[in-house]
Structure formats: C-alpha cells, structure tokens
Chains A and B, each alone.
Chain A
Amino acid sequence: MTDLEVPSRTKEFREGLIREMRDLRAFAVSLSGSFHQADDLLQETLLKAWSHSASFIPGTNMRAWLVTILRNTYYSQYRKRGREVSDPDGIYAARLATPPNQESSLDMSDFQIALQKLAPEHRDVLLMVGASGLSYEEAAEICGVAVGTIKSRLNRARARLADLLGIKDPSELGAGAVSEAVVRTQTSS
C-alpha cells in the first residue's frame, strides 16, 4: 500500500469511528459500570482500532468490530486485575471511588446497579443485542458461542434484569400466589 492510499482509507475509517464513539461509550459505561474506566477503555480501543485499521473490512459492521476490541480489552484488564490481589498504590481503588458529576448521577442509577448484578455473559449479550443492535450472529461470533446460546442468554438476561428492577407482567400477576396476595391486599383494604 502506498502512502497516497492511506489518507483516503483513513478518512472513511475516521468518519466511521467518530459515528460510533458515543454509542461505544454507552456500551463501555454499561459494561464496566464506571465512566472513568469506560473512557480508559474507549481510549485504548480507539488506539487499537487506529493501529489495526487494516484489519477492518470495509462494508462490514464497524460497530461489531469496535465492540469486539473494547470487550476483549475489558476482559483482559478484568482478568489481569483478578490476579493482582493487592492494590498498593490504590490506583484501582481510586478509580472505583465515586467521582464527581456524571459518575454519581448515572453510575449509581438503579438501572446501572442492576446491570452490574447480572452475570457477565448475560450483561454482554444484553448490551450487544438489546442496546447496540448487533445481530445474534455477530454477538455469537464475538462471544465465541452458538447463536442458540446467545438467544438463551438474552432470554435469561431479560428475566434477571426484570427481576432486579421489579418489572412484572400484569397478566402473569393474575395467576398463582401473587394474585392471591393481590386479592388479599384488596380485600383487606
């Protein structure tokens, strides 16, 4: 590839990157539960994407490509931190401390707290398919599992999240113990 070819490819690539940055940030915040960690992840993802731009195939889904990079970066950091039992400089602890503004308002929302309580594989698929709009096939490829497993995880993730958020189907409340409880409440009031 000549030097002349690089700028034109990079311009298109750059435009794609900019288009995806905000959604990718939302993905990173939702995944990590922290704006600070999300921005570190985003910065690293941006650098990796830029330096490996040749591995992106034009015409394919850039969002799926970026999510793959970001998710791999996150889990490799996660695993590394898991091995580092001590945190002598308090760097990680400092990052986890509640920072000002954005962090306190959104990170601590009930929804974000519920997301953090999900199993990682459930949160993953919910964010990829439910929030980022990736296909089952793209999510399956990213996670290295079968499409059926993605569908099953998505279903479980929705059920757990609904449970954590206290979301109930009114029609289901009409049967069984819960309806009895409702009836008891109504008759006693």
Chain B
Amino acid sequence: MNGNKKIYESGGAETTASSLDDGLPLEELGDEVSPLVVDAVGNALQAHFRAIAEMPLPDRLLVLLAELEARERSL
C-alpha cells in the first residue's frame, strides 16, 4: 500500500501538472495520475455504476411515481 502511494506522490511531483490543473496554486495540485491508471479506474467505476443502473427499479419507487402521476391527473 505504502509503495503504491509513494509511486503516485513522486509521480505527481515530477510529471507535468498542466493538463489537469493548469494555473492552479500549488496547494490545489493533486497527485498526478498516469493515463493508463486513469483509464483503469474509469473503467472500473463505469462497470460498477452500470451494474447498479441496469438493475430493475424497486417497486416502491415505481408505485410512488404512479401515485404522483395519478394525483396530477386528478387535479
């Protein structure tokens, strides 16, 4: 764990900050992340997100939506 951290911290100090944090004061600069790692994290995040989004919505939300609509029509 510490080893990984060290990689990112030292990478952040040595690589260019212009692409993501152009013009920011030093305290705003984050750890620089390589494009390969950005892609890998992005893919993992998307896969996690899509897996949940593809699940059917729970009945209670569909029922609520139907009730709101019915109330709207009765106005």
Binding site for B on A (CB under 8 A): 3, 6-7, 10, 14, 17-18, 21-23, 25-27, 29-30, 39, 42-43, 46-47, 50, 102, 106, 109, 111-112, 115, 126-127, 130-132, 148-149, 151-156, 158-163, 165-173, 176-178, 181
Contact = CB atoms under 8 A, between A and B. Distances in A.
Contacts, number: 147
A155 B50 contact: no
A43 B69 CA distance: 15
Contact of A26 (B10, B12, B24, B49): B49
B52 A126 contact: no
Contacts of A173: 7
Interface residues on B, range: 35 or more
B7 A178 contact: yes
Nearest to A50: B68
Contacts of B1: 163
Contacts of B29: 152
A168 B37 contact: yes
